[in-house]
Amino acid sequence: MSFEEAEIIRRRAHAFLRNAEHLIEVGDYDIAAFSLEQYCQLILKYKLLIKKGTYPRTHSLRRLIRELSTYNKDVLRLLDDVRNLHYIARLEEAYISSRYLPIIYEESEVRDLLRFVKEVFRPLIEGV
C-alpha cells in the first residue's frame, strides 16, 4: 500500500474520533461508541501499515494490538492491565452492538470510553 493510501486511513481514523466527540455532544451515544471503535481500529491498522506494509484483515482490536506490540511492547499495557482490557473489550463490543443489537449506550459510559481513548489508548499508540 502506498503512503497516500496509509494517509487516507489515518485521516479517516481522526475523522471518526472527531465524529465521536460531536455525536456525544448531540446525544447520539450508540453511534459515538461505534465511532470510537472505528478510530481505534483504523489507527492501529494505519500504524501497522506504516511499520510492516500491511495489516491483518480483522476487526479485533486485541489482535491488532498484539500485532503492533512486535514493534513496541508498551502497547501490550492495553491488554495486560485488566482495567485497560475492559475498555478494549467494551470498544470491541461497540463494533457489533451499535450496529446489530438493541443495546442503548448511556452518556456516562460513552464519555468514559472517550476519556480512555484520548488519555490511555491514543498516547500508547502514538508512541509506536
CA distance 48 to 128: 10
61 Cβ neighbours under 8 A, 6+ residues apart: 37, 40, 41, 44, 88, 91, 92
Q: Which three cell numbers stand for residue 66?
A: 498484539
pLDDT score, position 3: 82
Q: Give yes or no for residue 2 having a pLDDT over 80.
A: no
pLDDT score, position 101: 83
36 Cβ neighbours under 8 A, 6+ residues apart: 16, 17, 20, 91, 94, 110, 113, 114, 117
29 Cβ neighbours under 8 A, 6+ residues apart: 23, 104, 105, 106, 107, 109, 110
Q: How many folded domains does the chain comprise?
A: 1
- Give the predicted TM-score (pTM) of the model: 0.95
pLDDT in tens, 32-53: 999 999 999 999 999 999 999 9
Q: Give yes or no for residue 1 having a pLDDT over 80.
A: no
The pLDDT of 111-121, averaged and rounded, is 98
CATH number at residue 47: 1.20.120.330
**What is the domain extent for residue 8?**
3-126
pLDDT in tens, 61-109: 999 999 999 999 999 999 999 999 999 999 999 999 877 888 899 999 9
**CA terminus-to-terminus distance, the chain:** 19
